[in-house]
């Protein structure tokens, strides 16, 4: 041990800690460099190997380009292991004074005055943050006297900032290297019934685990499906039904412990390998105060078993239930424990790891970045300076993802991210991600297309369309309505839905409910999907026969990785027979009187794709965006405002249809006064015109904001670099082939705009902003109408309903 190590050993631990450890037969020692190297070697090589360090170095280099100010707070973990003073609680009976063969890592919540401990959890001495019974239980799971115990509050010098920073940087390696992790739930003390139930079900699980050993997947699944229910029947028939009744109470009490709410606890669980042998253990207090232990994998299985017995939330409340920061139901608690499991997909986006920890509490917000970086396996750490909120963490995680070549921040779904500076609160270009919906990382084929990133704007290359999404022509709408009615296409859609799997039917039910809600709000009757079919078919007719014939293969290619399955797949013989007449009718509409077999086959495929119950999941209100022939001729996208441009960042132009790659943007003056949503509402002249009984003002003049079914009110498109735009919303674009953005940009550089429809704009600054408050605009329109009716002698009742 060198002189610096000797000096540190003399200063830490303090005498008070030594005096408490001694009666327990324990001491705190700083292990040798060689011992530390041996203990953490495998974890360090796995997490901080040369490839990982190269990746981290590249991220750091890109970060310095995208935002030098933020980059200075991130550092490589290359040297942090050598700086680590690793201390262990060791038995005084251990033959070795400075080496341990293995160690146990303790995961727990520090004792704070604002959360209640169980009656049996009296601390040993102030500052230990652990009770004597729990400490005895931890020491009792050692596999030999020489095994060490790592407990952060004692093994880290809490008075030394350098020591704390170094340990935080190595926390992933420490928990990954532990032989076993023990989890202390010091706020959980079971009742007698809960204790009996927990021990009984723990026995069920242990016996079931033995029975399935060596079985094939099918036999194993059958045993697991039957074992717990059979044991419960036996208990109930023998008069021990109270044990079964108390199982849920036991599970909820354990799963609602404070440990499950803390971000660092989640990190420790996600970093430690959840092995079958030496599985992590939960410790809690029994009814008499004795410490009980339960395997993590048992608690996980019990949560799933009980959750499966309960009805799940409806589709309309699913995301709300999943994102609830205060879960209460068994199903919600099961979703939360899932996020504590290790073994994440190696290609998972950093933003996915970020969403996993956002629902957990953390005193120091910057630690959330460290946790996400650790769990994703990027050997960088953040020094935690200047972090004011969770929103700050999310935008920095988005910045990090982009620096790592992951364009998920440009397409992920979520709510508008609100940030603050010294002067005001503003809407960022970045998104607050929907929990658990970020998916795998998506590589950026054009890294140079993103030049600079700040909290307020992102500077990047855009493909901007000169056209707007258009509604179907009257002629095509009439033809579509006639075809659907004559050939009873709606019933074919119902047949396709009836033949779809349960997950498709479930999600489609959500779409129908959303349409019904929309219909109720807009006084429009939509009890089925006929309106969608008419609209989509009319738009397709406007797009032309070649587009229609290509549509099924385009959708099949662009939904290969779609979570709801491939759209545009095989047509069954019965569907083919049903769709043959309508296919021939539409071909005759395009003056193809004697179509080839291939044209008929493709047109049947078009209708089958159009009738696929999953297609409305992209949008229930499609419009046609005209495109140049080289980009597919046309595509479907939702309607936007008549002030907005459709744009696609070059970095995500290649993505398949189910990504929200369309950015709805408008020219913007970043130094102008803040936007007032009241200016988007109809003026008094609208009411006056209605009161006179006739609209003597144009709707476009009365309503400042309309959708693209009305006159174009867009400001002139700016063409210079660093032109400013505001981002209103993100949409899907489907029905066109996947694009090679680099090729589009090259052609634009050589020959100008892409057929006069797509303009390549480099280095554009896109700021965040709120979308138009369409519901408020609609309500204001209806209120103006009712005011006019009221002034003419009626409408009070309707007026109250709209106001409500």
Angle at 62 (CA atoms; ends 57, 65), nearest 5 degrees: 135
Could you tell me if residue 422 is inside a domain?
no
Per-residue pLDDT of 109-137, as tens digits, reads 988 777 788 999 887 776 677 889 999 99
- 654 band by pLDDT with thresholds 50, 70 and 90: very high
**Non-local CB neighbours of 465 within 8 Å, separated by 6+ positions:** 625, 627, 645, 646, 647, 757, 758, 759
Q: What pLDDT score does 520 carry?
A: 41
More confident residue, 78 or 103: 103
φ and ψ of 769, to 5 deg: -160, 165
- 276 band by pLDDT with thresholds 50, 70 and 90: confident
**Non-local CB neighbours of 785 within 8 Å, separated by 6+ positions:** 687, 690
**Residues 11 and 127 placed together within one structural domain of the fold:** yes
Query: Rounded to whole angstroms, how far apart are CA atoms 520 and 523?
Result: 5
| Number of domains comprising the chain | 3
Query: Rounded to whole angstroms, how far apart are CA atoms 156 and 150?
Result: 9
Per-residue pLDDT of 430-478, as tens digits, reads 999 876 567 789 999 999 999 999 999 999 999 999 999 999 999 999 9
Is 655's pLDDT higher than 90?
A: yes
Query: Rounded to whole angstroms, how far apart are CA atoms 514 and 621?
Result: 12
Q: What pLDDT score does 81 carry?
A: 72
Which of 304, 338, 372 corresponds to the end of one domain? 338
| Total Cβ atoms within 10 A of residue 369 | 26
Per-residue pLDDT of 162-176, as tens digits, reads 888 888 888 888 999
Is 294's pLDDT higher than 90?
A: yes
Could you tell me if residue 498 is inside a domain?
yes
Collapsed DSSP state (helix, strand, coil) of residue 760? strand
Residues of the chain with pLDDT > 90, as a percent, come to 51
More confident residue, 779 or 407: 407
Q: Are 458 and 469 in contact (CB under 8 A)?
A: no
Could you tell me if residue 742 is inside a domain?
yes
Q: What share of the chain is helix, strand, coil (3-state, %, to 5)?
A: 50, 15, 35
**Residues 103 and 250 placed together within one structural domain of the fold:** yes
- 316 band by pLDDT with thresholds 50, 70 and 90: very low
Could you tell me if residue 45 is inside a domain?
no
Is 199's pLDDT higher than 50?
A: yes
Could you tell me if residue 657 is inside a domain?
yes
**Residues 250 and 210 placed together within one structural domain of the fold:** yes
Least confident range of 17-31, 597-611, 628-642:
17-31
Tokens 């109720």 — which residue? 520
Angle at 144 (CA atoms; ends 141, 149), nearest 5 degrees: 55
Query: Rounded to whole angstroms, how far apart are CA atoms 645 and 757?
Result: 12
User: 350-358 and 366-376 are packed helices; what angle lies between their axes, rounded to 10 degrees?
Assistant: 130
Q: What pLDDT score does 565 carry?
A: 84
> Where are the alpha helices (H) located in 316-426, listed in sequence order?
318-323, 330-338, 350-358, 366-376, 390-403, 408-411
Residues of the chain with pLDDT > 70, as a percent, come to 85
Closest CA to 189 of 297, 116, 112, 130: 116
Q: Which whole-number Å values give the CA distances from 604 to 138, 570, 588, 735, in the listed order?
A: 68, 11, 14, 16
More confident residue, 236 or 774: 236
**Non-local CB neighbours of 718 within 8 Å, separated by 6+ positions:** 667, 724, 725, 761
Q: Which domain holds residue 151?
A: 3-30+79-338
**Residues 157 and 13 placed together within one structural domain of the fold:** yes
- Span 474-490, average pLDDT: 89
More confident residue, 682 or 199: 199
**Residues 464 and 479 placed together within one structural domain of the fold:** no
Could you tell me if residue 363 is inside a domain?
no
- Span 707-730, average pLDDT: 93
- 698 band by pLDDT with thresholds 50, 70 and 90: low
φ and ψ of 148, to 5 deg: -90, 165
Which of 589, 621, 653 corresponds to the end of one domain? 621
Closest CA to 410 of 419, 420, 402: 402
Could you tell me if residue 334 is inside a domain?
yes
**Residues 150 and 277 placed together within one structural domain of the fold:** yes
Q: Are 360 and 109 in contact (CB under 8 A)?
A: no
Could you tell me if residue 92 is inside a domain?
yes
Query: Rounded to whole angstroms, how far apart are CA atoms 193 and 247?
Result: 9
Which of 621, 652, 672 corresponds to the end of one domain? 621
**Residues 584 and 706 placed together within one structural domain of the fold:** no
Collapsed DSSP state (helix, strand, coil) of residue 479? helix
Collapsed DSSP state (helix, strand, coil) of residue 241? helix
Residue 552 pairs in a beta bridge with: none
Query: Rounded to whole angstroms, how far apart are CA atoms 567 and 636?
Result: 15
Q: What pLDDT score does 793 carry?
A: 61
**Residues 597 and 644 placed together within one structural domain of the fold:** no
- Span 645-669, average pLDDT: 95
- 539 band by pLDDT with thresholds 50, 70 and 90: very high
Q: What pLDDT score does 597 carry?
A: 93
Q: What pLDDT score does 513 carry?
A: 59
- 519 band by pLDDT with thresholds 50, 70 and 90: very low
> Where are the alpha helices (H) located in 120-191, listed in sequence order?
132-140, 152-155, 161-169, 171-177
**Residues 681 and 725 placed together within one structural domain of the fold:** yes
- Span 526-544, average pLDDT: 84
Q: What pLDDT score does 512 carry?
A: 59
Closest CA to 735 of 613, 646, 601, 627: 627
**Residues 95 and 115 placed together within one structural domain of the fold:** yes
Least confident range of 276-290, 430-444, 660-674:
430-444
**Residues 669 and 745 placed together within one structural domain of the fold:** yes
| DSSP 8-state class, residue 317 | G
**Residues 602 and 700 placed together within one structural domain of the fold:** no
């Amino acid at each position: 041990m060198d002189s610096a190590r000797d000096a540190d050993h003399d200063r830490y631990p303090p005498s008070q800690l030594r005096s408490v450890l001694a009666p327990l037969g324990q001491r705190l020692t700083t292990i040798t460099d060689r011992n530390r190297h041996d203990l953490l070697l495998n974890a360090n090589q796995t997490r901080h190997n040369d490839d990982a360090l190269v990746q981290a170095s590249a991220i750091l280099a890109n970060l310095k380009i995208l935002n030098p100010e933020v980059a200075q707070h991130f550092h490589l973990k290359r040297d942090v292991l050598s700086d680590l003073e690793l201390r262990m609680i060791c038995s005084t009976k251990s033959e070795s004074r400075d080496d341990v063969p293995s160690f146990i890592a303790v995961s727990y919540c520090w004792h704070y005055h604002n959360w209640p401990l169980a009656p049996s959890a009296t601390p040993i001495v102030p500052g230990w943050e652990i009770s004597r019974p729990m400490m005895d239980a931890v020491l009792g799971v050692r596999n030999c006297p020489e095994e060490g115990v790592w407990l952060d509050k004692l093994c880290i010098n809490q008075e030394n900032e350098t020591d704390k920073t170094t340990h935080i940087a190595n926390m992933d390696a420490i928990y990954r290297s532990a032989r076993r992790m023990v989890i202390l739930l010091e706020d959980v003390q079971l009742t007698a019934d809960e204790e009996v139930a927990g021990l009984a079900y723990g026995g069920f699980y242990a016996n079931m685990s033995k029975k399935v050993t060596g079985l094939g997947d099918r036999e194993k699944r059958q045993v697991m499906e039957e074992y717990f229910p059979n044991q419960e029947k036996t208990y109930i028939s023998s008069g021990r039904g109270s044990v079964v009744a108390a199982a849920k109470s036991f599970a909820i009490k354990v799963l609602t412990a404070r440990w499950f709410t803390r971000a660092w606890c989640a990190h420790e669980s996600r970093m430690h390998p959840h092995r079958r042998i030496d599985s992590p253990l939960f410790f809690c207090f029994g009814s008499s105060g004795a410490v009980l232990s339960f395997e993590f994998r048992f608690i996980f299985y019990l949560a799933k078993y009980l959750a499966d017995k309960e009805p799940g939330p409806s589709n309309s409340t699913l995301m709300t239930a999943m994102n609830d920061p205060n879960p209460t139901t068994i199903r919600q608690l099961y979703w939360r424990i899932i996020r504590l499991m290790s073994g994440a997909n190696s290609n998972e986006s950093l933003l996915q790891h970020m969403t996993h920890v956002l629902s957990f509490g953390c005193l120091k917000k910057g630690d959330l970045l460290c946790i996400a970086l650790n769990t994703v396996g990027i050997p960088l750490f953040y020094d935690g300076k200047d972090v004011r909120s969770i929103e700050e963490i999310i935008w920095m995680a988005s910045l990090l993802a982009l620096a790592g070549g992951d364009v998920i921040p440009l397409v992920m779904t979520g709510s508008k991210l609100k940030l603050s500076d010294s002067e005001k609160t503003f809407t960022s270009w970045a998104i607050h991600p929907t929990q658990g919906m970020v998916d795998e990382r998506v590589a950026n084929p054009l890294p140079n297309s993103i030049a600079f990133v700040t909290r307020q704007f992102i500077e990047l290359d855009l493909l901007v369309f000169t056209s707007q999404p258009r509604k179907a022509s009257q002629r095509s709408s009439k033809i579509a309505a006639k075809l659907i009615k004559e050939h009873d296409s709606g019933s074919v859609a119902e047949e396709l839905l009836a033949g779809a799997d349960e997950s498709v039917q479930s999600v489609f039910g959500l779409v129908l409910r959303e349409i019904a809600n929309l219909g109720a709000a807009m006084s429009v009757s939509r009890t089925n999907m006929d309106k969608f079919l008419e609209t989509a078919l009319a738009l397709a007719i406007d797009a032309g026969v070649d587009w229609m014939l290509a549509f099924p293969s385009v959708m099949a290619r662009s939904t290969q990785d779609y979570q709801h399955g491939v759209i545009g797949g095989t047509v069954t013989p019965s569907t083919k027979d049903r769709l043959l007449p309508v296919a021939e009718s539409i071909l005759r509409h395009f003056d193809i009187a004697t179509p080839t077999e291939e044209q008929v086959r493709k047109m049947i495929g078009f209708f089958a794709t159009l009738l696929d119950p999953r297609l409305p999941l992209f949008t229930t209100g499609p419009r046609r965006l005209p495109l140049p022939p080289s980009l597919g001729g046309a595509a479907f996208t939702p309607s936007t405002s008549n002030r907005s441009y459709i744009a696609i960042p070059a970095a995500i132009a290649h993505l398949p249809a189910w990504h929200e790659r369309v950015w709805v943007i408008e020219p913007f003056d970043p130094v102008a006064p803040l936007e007032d949503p009241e200016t988007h509402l109809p003026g008094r002249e609208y009411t006056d015109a209605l009161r006179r009984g006739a609209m003597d003002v144009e709707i476009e003049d009365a309503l400042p904001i309309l959708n693209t079914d009305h006159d174009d009110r867009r400001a002139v498109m700016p063409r210079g670099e660093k032109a400013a735009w505001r981002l209103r919303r993100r949409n899907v674009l489907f029905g066109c082939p996947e694009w090679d953005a680099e090729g589009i940009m090259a052609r634009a550089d050589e020959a100008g705009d892409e057929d006069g429809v797509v303009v390549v704009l480099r280095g554009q600054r896109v700021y965040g902003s709120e979308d138009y408050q369409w519901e408020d605009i609609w309500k204001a329109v209806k209120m103006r109408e009712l005011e006019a009716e009221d002034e003419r002698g009626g409408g009070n009742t309707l007026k109250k309903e709209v106001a409500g």
